[in-house]
Amino acid sequence: MPTTSDEVLIARIAKGDRLAMEELYGRYRVPVYRFVLRMVRNPTTAEDLNSDVFLDVWRQAGTFEGRSAVSTWIFSIARFKALNVLQRRPMEELDDEKADAIEDQADDPEIALAKKDKAAVLRACLLKLSAEHREIVNLVYYQHKSVEDVAGIVGIPEATVKTRMFYARKKLSELLTEQGIERGWP
Amino acid sequence: MTTVKQSEPSEIELLLPWYAAGTLDVRESQQVERALANDPELAARYEWVRAELEQETHVSEAAGEPSARDVTTLFAKIDALPAQKSRSSIDLGARIAEFLAALSPRTLAWSAMAVALAIVLQAGILAGIVLKERNAGGYETASAPSNVSGEGSYVLLRFQPQASAADVANFLETNKLSIVGGPSTGGLYRVRIAPTKLAKADLTRIVNTLQDNKVVGFIAVTE
């Protein structure tokens, strides 16, 4: 028997069906958690955000109009909440994040060790991307969202989605260069 | 992986991340495949895209999962909300929508045939009753003896995931069963196996027989 569609679950949740809520939560709790964690970079905050996201799903299921996929709707709620947290963060944390995202004059121990391993350097550089770039890279590479889905989640035109992803990759290339890995364009 | 230089990204290059993730439509995928086959520099850059996807997956999976307390936290928050919704877990419209959504096109075709047949039979029965009443020249009260709704013998039944729609339809028809509810969580359907209340021994015998059918994954007697 095929599984119940997300749309049907949302219709049931709109009527207060807890079992439907449990099923939808079971489907999305891990991907949404990993998405918000990539953005806010704090497991406790990510966990709190995760339950807030699904609380909104419970509250707003009746307003879901089906103009996008349910997963697109859920991720757009998650993104909005993660951005709110990032905006509320104290300046010193933001400064730390900017510093991380810019450049290390000297190799930290992790990078120094990883230089022998391109995969590890690449991972370290992915972690250093800005929130805007981390977001799109995670949506495309890990959440497997199409150009159209990302446009719906982030709220930008599809052409901008493509160029933003390109510039995220370009930034990644620059970070790799700083670590001694020259891969060329982008 | 070679070092290459280029001034502006082409449309195809912009699509490489989605090609690697498998989220392009067929036409765009074919365009990218052709370009990769004909452009060694693009193919070299694509290797980096694949490496990025692999490492982003690694980073995300390494993040683990939310702790077990998250479910409790969520439902505690839900419980703390004002009772703004009906807490009934049974909404007929949603259930019907779910039931139909769960059916494959082939099953739907079978269902449509069954419904059409039921309508024809019902029309025949009603016509028969009318004729009988006319012939008898009498009347019956609205409370005339009949099978009261809700009477009957029922089971909870889950079909095997690999059972085809035709197998299920055949199983229901052969054993004169009718689905009266579901699917609930776990894919359980409420199925009427007899129009009257059967003795426990008869019920057990029928359930044991049905249990041996290849389309049945789980079966249990229910009220």
Q: How far is it, in rounded angstroms, from Cα B63 to Cα B21?
A: 20
Q: How far is it, in rounded angstroms, from Cα B155 to Cα B152?
A: 10
Quickly state the pLDDT bin for B143 (edges 50, 70, 90).
very low
> Would you state the pLDDT for residue B124?
59
Residue with tokens 């339950």: A51
- For residue A152, give the amino acid letter: G
Q: Does A28 touch chain B (CB under 8 A)?
A: no
Q: Does A54 touch chain B (CB under 8 A)?
A: yes
Note the Cα B88 to chain centre separation in Å.
21
Cβ–Cβ of A21/B59 closer than 8 Å?
A: no
Cβ–Cβ of A16/B49 closer than 8 Å?
A: no
Q: What is the pLDDT along chain A (186 residues), one digit of tens a residue?
A: 568 899 999 999 999 999 999 999 999 999 999 999 999 999 999 999 999 999 999 999 999 988 899 999 999 999 999 999 998 876 545 545 544 544 444 456 665 555 558 899 999 999 999 999 999 999 999 999 999 999 999 999 999 999 999 999 999 999 999 988 888 766
Instruction: Tell which of A47, A141, A142, A143 to mutate to test the B interface (max B CBs under 10 Å).
Output: A141
With 0.95 as the threshold, say if the pTM is over it: no
Q: Token pair of B54, please? A: 């692999």
Is residue B120 over pLDDT 70? no
- Give me the residues of B, 176-205, that contact A with CB < 8 A: 183-185, 187
* Consecutive H or E run containing B194: strand B188-194
Kindly report the three-state secondary structure assignment for every residue of A53-111.
HHHHHHHHHHHCCCCCCHHHHHHHHHHHHHHHHHHHCCHHHHHHHHHHHCCCCCCCHHH
Q: Does A98 touch chain B (CB under 8 A)?
A: no
In chain B, residues with a C-beta closer than 8 Å to the C-beta of A126 are 52, 55-56, 59
Shortest alpha-carbon distance between residue A91 and chain B (Å): 25
Which one has a higher pLDDT value, B130 or B96?
Answer: B96
Is residue B5 over pLDDT 70? no
Evaluate whether A80 touches A145 at the Cβ level (below 8 Å). Answer: no
Cβ–Cβ of A8/B101 closer than 8 Å?
A: yes
Cβ–Cβ of A122/B51 closer than 8 Å?
A: yes
Query: Which residues, 6 or more positions from A70, have their beta carbon under 8 angstroms from its beta carbon?
Result: A6, A7, A9, A10, A24, A64
Quickly state the pLDDT bin for B148 (edges 50, 70, 90).
very low
> Would you state the pLDDT for residue B147?
41
Shortest alpha-carbon distance between residue A173 and chain B (Å): 10
Kindly report the CATH number that applies to the domain delimited by A1-89. 1.10.1740.10
In chain A, residues with a C-beta closer than 8 Å to the C-beta of B187 are 1
Quickly state the pLDDT bin for B219 (edges 50, 70, 90).
confident
Cβ–Cβ of A141/B23 closer than 8 Å?
A: no
* Consecutive H or E run containing B183: strand B178-184
Note the Cα B164 to chain centre separation in Å.
13
Q: How far is it, in rounded angstroms, from Cα B208 to Cα A100?
A: 66
* Mean pLDDT over each residue of chain B, to the nearest integer: 74
Domain ranges for chain A: 1-89, 91-180
Cβ–Cβ of A162/B48 closer than 8 Å?
A: no
Percent of chain B exceeding pLDDT 70 equals: 61
Q: For the segment B168-203, what is each residue's pLDDT rounded down to a tens digit?
A: 777 888 888 888 877 665 566 788 888 888 888 888
Q: How far is it, in rounded angstroms, from Cα A73 to Cα A64?
A: 8
Kindly report the CATH number that applies to the domain delimited by A91-180. 1.10.10.10
Residue A118's Cβ-count burial label (10 Å; 0-12, 13-18, 19+) is middle
Q: What separation in angstroms does the CA of A54 have from each of A118, B60, B83, B132, B220?
A: 38, 20, 17, 60, 34
Evaluate whether A89 touches A60 at the Cβ level (below 8 Å). Answer: no
- Give me the residues of B, 14-43, that contact A with CB < 8 A: 14-15, 17-18, 20-24
Give the DSSP letter string of B196-223: S---HHHHHHHHHHHHTSTTEEEEEEE-
Quickly state the pLDDT bin for B81 (edges 50, 70, 90).
confident
Q: How far is it, in rounded angstroms, from Cα A104 to Cα A180?
A: 12
Crossing angle for the helix pair A147-154 and A70-88, to the nearest 10 degrees: 50
Cβ–Cβ of A5/B55 closer than 8 Å?
A: no
Evaluate whether B160 touches B217 at the Cβ level (below 8 Å). Answer: yes
In chain A, residues with a C-beta closer than 8 Å to the C-beta of B56 are 126, 137-138, 141-142
